[in-house]
């Protein structure tokens, strides 16, 4: 997976994630939209045969968009860990 910055400013960030899918982008978008500092978050897959979605973030206030994206990624990782532990627990029963 390779991340490429397409646009970066104080309030906006646009990145391309080569080799990713709707799954990761949808999770990140959901977590970003839960963040009250985020004005807008979305993603697009410009071409269905090229797996390189583009994520766009626009912020309110003074928080940098890259901070919100890192926070969202950490929340996704925590949710994944919690799911993994719960799955192990129920499958052992």
pLDDT tens-digit readout, 3-46: 999 999 999 999 999 988 888 899 999 999 999 999 999 999 88
Helix (H, G, I), strand (E, B) or coil at 43: strand
The pTM (predicted TM-score) of the whole model is 0.87
Q: 27-41 burial, b if ≥16 CB within 10 A, otherwise e?
A: bbbebbeebeebeeb
**Which residues 6+ apart lie within 8 Å of 87 measured at CB?**
none
Domains of the chain: 2-92 (3.30.1360.10)
User: Tokens 């309110």 label which residue?
Assistant: 60
């Amino acid at each position: 997976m390779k991340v490429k910055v397409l646009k970066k400013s104080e309030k906006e960030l646009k990145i391309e994630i080569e080799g990713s899918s709707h799954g990761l982008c949808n999770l990140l978008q959901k977590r970003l939209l839960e963040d009250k500092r985020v004005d807008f978050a979305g993603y697009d897959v410009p071409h269905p045969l090229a797996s390189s979605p583009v994520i766009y973030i626009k912020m309110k206030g003074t928080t940098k968009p890259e901070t919100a994206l890192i926070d969202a990624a950490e929340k996704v990782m925590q949710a994944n860990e919690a799911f993994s532990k719960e799955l192990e627990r129920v499958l052992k029963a």
